[in-house]
């Protein structure tokens, strides 16, 4: 499909620079088949069935944004994907000043050696020393806010908590699974009281999720790979939900992409521990997922393509028009939507 088909006009004042407080006070656009209505995140349990299961991503965002120097040149690095115990692939600002073998000093005693460049322009960084890289990042790194927020304000202490979900356990993401940012203890209690099952899986979100689609046709776009994991016991419980007639409701596009990567043609979810670069566009036949809770996405983005595949492009165009006209807040710190396709 032509990428232009996924374009729309979004006023800049719709981009949320801070989350609402409390987190579960956000608005939620409910798209049920072709029906669109205005709800609140706290309404979520009332919109699902007791047989359903919410599937969360328990990845934890690391302070993956680094500022340093290569000699006299300023260099910025956003870690993208782990490639070894001390090796991370990174998107580097001012990369033309960095050559293979250069040492980059990120301050606080944190240095890395630049290695080979990938086809996507990223650079392999090998961190020096014996301390775990996670410790080094805690010392020298900051939270990697999305560029559409970071370009408008600096990172501060509030983001350390705001840009982390209550489910964060497994360190390795450089972007938050933002649909889960709306959840609180109060909302989880309401979900449990309804009898809705909860499960977690892990997909370490990479910085590639923010990269623009630069091709004219979706067939020419190459997704960045991200590591995901579903253990055997979790896969068995997920399959039991579908066997009893319940729906797997992915909380976030990351959880959805991993579920679909792990499912076979019959919709059976298998244990999974590998990279996935699944790219979901209209025409894709969903195997395992029966619904999606997600924030609002960028025009022409792979994530808007994904929700259009789930609900239909005309439905999502109408839903986003409704959201824009209704003052919904967009992107990572914005409002939510619940998307339930007709069975």
pLDDT for position 123? 95
CA distance 11 to 210: 19
> Residue 288: inside a domain, yes or no?
yes
> Residue 19: inside a domain, yes or no?
yes
Are 242 and 264 part of one and the same domain?
A: yes
Are 57 and 71 part of one and the same domain?
A: no
pLDDT in tens for each of the 343 residues of the chain?
999 999 999 999 999 999 999 999 999 999 999 999 999 999 999 999 999 999 999 999 999 999 999 988 999 999 988 999 999 999 999 888 999 999 999 999 999 999 999 888 899 999 999 999 999 999 999 998 888 898 889 888 899 999 999 999 999 998 899 999 999 999 999 999 999 999 999 999 987 676 778 899 999 988 888 999 999 999 999 999 999 999 999 999 999 999 999 999 999 999 999 999 999 999 999 999 999 999 999 999 999 999 999 999 999 999 999 999 999 999 999 999 999 998 7
Are 179 and 324 part of one and the same domain?
A: yes
Are 133 and 230 part of one and the same domain?
A: no
Are 10 and 69 part of one and the same domain?
A: no
3-state DSSP helix/strand/coil percent for the chain, to nearest 5?
A: 30, 30, 40
Final residue of a domain: which of 88, 107, 141?
141
CATH code assigned at 283: 3.40.1780.10
User: CB count, 10 Å around CB of 42?
Assistant: 17
> Residue 9: inside a domain, yes or no?
yes
CA distance 57 to 230: 10
Domain hosting 267: range is: 3-61+162-340
- Residue 119: name the closest of 261, 37, 225, 31 by CA: 225
pLDDT for position 213? 87
Region of 101 on the Ramachandran plot (φ > 0 left; ψ -120 to 50 alpha; else beta):
left
> Residue 196: inside a domain, yes or no?
yes
> Residue 92: inside a domain, yes or no?
yes
Are 23 and 86 part of one and the same domain?
A: no
Are 50 and 72 part of one and the same domain?
A: no
CA distance 195 to 192: 5
Structure tokens at 111: 């240095």
CA distance 120 to 273: 24
> Residue 296: inside a domain, yes or no?
yes
> Residue 43: inside a domain, yes or no?
yes
In this structure, are residues 332 and 178 in contact, taking their beta carbons and an 8 Å threshold? yes
CA distance 128 to 106: 11
Are 307 and 195 part of one and the same domain?
A: yes
Structure tokens at 313: 């492009």
CATH code assigned at 104: 2.40.10.240
- Residue 302: name the closest of 202, 229, 214 by CA: 214
3-state secondary structure of 179: helix
Structure tokens at 14: 């719709």
Are 136 and 260 part of one and the same domain?
A: no
Are 209 and 262 part of one and the same domain?
A: yes
> Residue 119: inside a domain, yes or no?
yes
Paired with 228 in beta bridges are 203, 274
- Residue 224: name the closest of 242, 210, 240 by CA: 210
Domain total in the chain: 2
pLDDT for position 148? 86
Are 41 and 72 part of one and the same domain?
A: no
- Residue 174: name the closest of 80, 91, 92, 75 by CA: 80
Are 222 and 305 part of one and the same domain?
A: yes
Question: Cα 296 to the chain's mean position, in Å?
Answer: 12
């Amino acid at each position: 499909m032509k990428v232009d088909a996924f374009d729309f006009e979004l006023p800049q004042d719709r981009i949320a620079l801070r989350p609402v407080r409390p987190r579960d006070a956000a608005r939620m656009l409910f798209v049920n088949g072709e029906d669109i209505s205005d709800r609140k995140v706290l309404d979520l349990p009332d919109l699902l069935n007791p047989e359903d299961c919410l599937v969360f991503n328990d990845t934890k965002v690391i302070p993956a944004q680094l500022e340093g120097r290569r000699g006299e040149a300023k260099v910025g690095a956003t870690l993208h994907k782990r490639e070894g115990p001390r090796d991370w692939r990174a998107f580097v600002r001012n990369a033309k000043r960095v050559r293979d073998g250069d040492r980059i000093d990120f301050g606080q005693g944190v240095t890395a050696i630049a290695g080979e460049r990938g086809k996507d322009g990223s650079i392999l960084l090998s961190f020096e020393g014996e301390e775990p890289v996670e410790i080094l990042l805690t010392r020298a790194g900051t939270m990697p806010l999305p560029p559409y927020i970071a370009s408008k304000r600096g990172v501060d202490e509030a983001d350390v908590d705001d840009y982390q979900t209550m489910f964060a356990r497994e360190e390795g993401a450089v972007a938050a699974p933002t649909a889960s940012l709306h959840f609180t203890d109060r909302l989880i209690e309401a979900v449990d009281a309804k009898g809705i099952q909860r499960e977690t899986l892990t997909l370490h979100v990479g910085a590639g999720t923010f990269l623009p689609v630069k091709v004219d046709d979706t067939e020419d776009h190459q997704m960045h790979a991200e590591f995901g994991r579903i253990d055997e016991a979790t896969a068995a419980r997920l399959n039991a939900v579908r066997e009893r007639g319940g729906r797997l409701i992915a909380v976030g596009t990351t959880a959805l992409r991993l579920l679909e990567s792990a499912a076979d043609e019959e919709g059976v979810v298998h244990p999974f521990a590998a990279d996935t670069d699944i790219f979901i566009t209209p025409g894709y036949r969903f195997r395992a997922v029966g619904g999606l809770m997600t924030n609002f996405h960028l025009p022409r983005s792979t994530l808007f393509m994904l929700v259009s595949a789930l609900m239909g492009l005309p439905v999502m165009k109408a839903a986003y028009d409704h959201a824009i006209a209704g003052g919904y807040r967009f992107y990572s710190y914005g409002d939510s939507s619940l998307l339930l396709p007709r069975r």
